[in-house]
Amino acid sequence: MTKSEEKKSNAVVLLSGGQDSTTCLVWAKQNFKKVFAITFDYGQRHNIEINAAKKIAKLLKVPLKIHKIDIFKGLTKNSLIDKKMPIKAGKNGTLPTTFVEGRNLIFIASAAIYAKSLKIKNLVAGFCQADSSGYPDCRENFVKAAEKAIELGMDHNFRIFTPLMWKTKAESVNLMKEMSGLKFLAHTHTCYEGKKVACGKCPACELRIKGFKEAEEKDPIKYKK
Amino acid sequence: MTKSEEKKSNAVVLLSGGQDSTTCLVWAKQNFKKVFAITFDYGQRHNIEINAAKKIAKLLKVPLKIHKIDIFKGLTKNSLIDKKMPIKAGKNGTLPTTFVEGRNLIFIASAAIYAKSLKIKNLVAGFCQADSSGYPDCRENFVKAAEKAIELGMDHNFRIFTPLMWKTKAESVNLMKEMSGLKFLAHTHTCYEGKKVACGKCPACELRIKGFKEAEEKDPIKYKK
C-alpha cells in the first residue's frame, strides 16, 4: 500500500493507554483517513490504563471501543492478572512474570473481528521488538504469522502496521515529539503497579524512564519520589 | 514427529462435542500418551454440545476443561450467537450466517495457552477442509498460519494435528468405525438448533446426514421425524 492509498483507507488502533499505543494512535491519525480504537479490559492489575485510553481517545477525537475479555483467567498464571504474584523481569532466558500467554494473539484476533465488522483492513499496534520487555509476542515474526492467520481465517485482507517495531524507546519519544509534541503522553499510563503516580521501579517504568533519558526529554507523567 | 514419538507425548484435544472432534478425541487416545480435552462455552445457541462434550470425555476417561469465552459478543454478528438471526448456508461465495468471525483462532489460542500450562506441545482439532460448511478458518493454510502464530507468540514449539483435514464426512465415519465402532457418536451433538433431537435440516445436520449416507452406516443419534 502506498502512502496515498493509506490516506484513503481507515484503520483500527489497538490502544492500551500506554506510551507506545498512544504514539501509534497519533501516527495512525496522520496516515489514515478515519481512525477507530479498541482497548481491552482483560483483568489486568493496571486497569487504570483503560481510563488513560478513554482520555486519550477523547482528546484525539477517536471512537473507542472498550472490550471485555475474560479469556485468560483459569488458563494461565501471570503477575499482571494474579495480583498476588510478584512482578519480576525475566532472567537467563526466562520470561518476565508479567508475560500473559497468548495475549497479543487474542488482542489481534479481537481487533480484527472488530475491524472486519467496520469493513476495515488496517490494524495499527505498538508492538516493539527493538526495545521491549522480551515478550515473544511483540516480535515481528510473530506479528507476521498472526497477520496471515487473521487474513486466512477471516477471508479479509488484513494488514498489521507496527510503526515502532524497530525503534528504541528514545526513538519513539522523538517520533511522538515530531508528530505532535509530547502533550498526549502526559495522559498515558505505563506502570504495572496500576496507580496513577508511577512507581518508577517496575520493568515497564524502567523501560519508559530509560527512553526519555536517552531522548533527553522530560517525561510529562508523575513518578513516586 | 514419528509415530513412536507421538506415543510418548501428550496432547490437548479441542472437543466441541460434535462428530469430528469426538472422532479426533478417539484418534488422539490412540496416538498420544495422555490426552486432555478443552471445550468452549462461547454463547453458542447449541450450547447443549457442552453436555455432549462432558459425556464423551467421561466415557473416554479424558480430563475436560470447560472454558467460558465472552469475546465474540459485541464484536461480531452471526446466527450461532444471535439467536434471532436465521441460520442460512452461504450462497454465491458469501459466508454462512453461522460463521463466527475469528472463532477458531480464538479457540486455538486458548487451547494453546491451556496446553502450555500443562507443558504440552500437541493440539488436536477436527478442522476439515474437504467436506465442510465453507468456513475459511477450517482450511489447512489457516491452521498452518495459526500454528506458527502460537509457536512464535508463546515461544513454545506447538504442533496442531488435524487428522480429518482432507477426509470427507463419509471417510470420517469410516475412520471412527475402524478405531472404536460408532458407539461414541451416539453421544455427539451436531445440530445448530441446539435441541437434543436433531432438526435434520440445518447445514450442520445436512452435512452429517450426507456423511453417514455415503458411508452406508446408520447414524446413532435421533432426528426429528
**In chain B, where do the E strands start and end?**
11-14, 35-41, 64-68, 122-124, 159-161
Give the one of A72, A136, A155 whose C-beta lies nearest to B154's C-beta. Answer: A136
Q: How far is B150 from chain A (nearest CA, A)?
A: 7
Q: H or E segment at A174?
A: helix A169-180
Residues facing residue A216 across a β-bridge: none
Per-residue model confidence (pLDDT) at position B4: 66
Residue B209 lies in a domain: yes
Query: Which segments of chain B have a pLDDT < 70?
Result: 1-6
Q: How many CB atoms lie within 10 A of CB A180?
A: 17
Q: How far is CA B86 from CA B45, B46, B81, B83, in A?
A: 12, 14, 11, 8
A154 close to A120: Cβ distance less than 8 angstroms: no
A137 touches chain B (CB under 8 A): yes
Taking CA–CA distances from B94, the nearest residue in chain A reads: A155
| Number of domains making up chain B | 1
How many cross-chain Cβ pairs, A to B, lie less than 8 Å apart? 126
Q: Is residue A222 part of a domain?
A: no
Contact across the interface for B145 and A148, Cβ inside 8 Å = yes
Q: H/E element holding A212?
A: helix A203-215
Q: Rounded CA gap, B75 and B171, in Å?
A: 36
Four-point Cα dihedral A50, A54, A56, A58, nearest 10 = 180
Mutation site for A-interface testing, chosen from B66, B82, B137, B155 by largest number of A Cβ within 10 Å: B155
> Would residue A220 count as lying in a domain?
no
* Domain-embedded: residue B222: no
- Whether the CB of A116 is below 8 Å from some CB of chain B: the reply is yes
Q: Give pLDDT, residue B130.
A: 84
* Contact yes or no for A106 and B141 at CB 8 A: no
| % pLDDT > 90, chain B | 77
Q: Chain A interface, mutation test: which of B105, B123, B140, most A Cβ atoms within 10 Å?
A: B105
- The chain A residue lying nearest B138, using CA atoms, is A153
Pairwise CA distance, residues B198 & A20, whole Å: 51
Q: What is the CATH number of the domain that holds A86?
A: 3.40.50.620
Domain-embedded: residue A225:
no
Domain assignment present for A56: yes
Q: Which of B154, B157, B160 to mutate to test the interface with A (most CBs of A within 10 A)?
A: B154
Residues in chain A where the model's pLDDT stays below 70: 1-6
* Nearest residue in B to A152, CA atom: B142
* Inter-chain residue contact A145 with B142, CB threshold 8 Å: no
Residue A148 and residue B150: Cβ atoms within 8 Å?
A: no
Identify the CA nearest to B108 among candidates B92, B123, B119, B128: B123
Q: Is position A179 within any domain? A: yes
Least Cα separation, residue A2 to chain B (angstroms): 26
Question: Please, which residues 75-114 of chain A have a Cβ atom closer than 8 Å to chain B?
Answer: 75-77, 95, 101-102, 104-106, 109-110, 112-114
Question: For residues B88-105, b (16+ Cβ closer than 10 Å) or e, as one string?
Answer: ebeeeeebbbbbbbbbbb
Give the separation between CA A78 and CA A115, rounded to whole angstroms.
29
What phi and psi, each to the nearest 5 degrees, are found at residue A43?
A: 85, 15
Does residue A223 belong to any structural domain of this protein? no
CA A209 distance to own-chain centroid:
17
Calpha distance B90→A49 (Å, rounded): 41
pLDDT of residue A2: 64
CB atoms B67 and A76 under 8 Å: no
Q: Which of B106, B108, B151 to mutate to test the interface with A (most CBs of A within 10 A)?
A: B106
Question: Smallest Cβ distance to A105: which of B70, B117, B149?
Answer: B149
Q: Is B72 near chain A, with CB under 8 Å?
A: yes
* H-only helix segments in A1-102: 3-8, 19-31, 48-59
Reported ipTM: 0.93
Strand partners, A124: A13, A161
Tell me the H-state helices in A32-168: 48-59, 103-117, 140-154
Domain that holds residue B164: 3-215
Q: What is the pTM of this model?
A: 0.94
- Asked whether the beta carbons of B189 and B43 are under 8 A apart, the reply is no
Model confidence over A16-40: pLDDT tens digits? Answer: 999 999 999 999 999 999 999 999 9
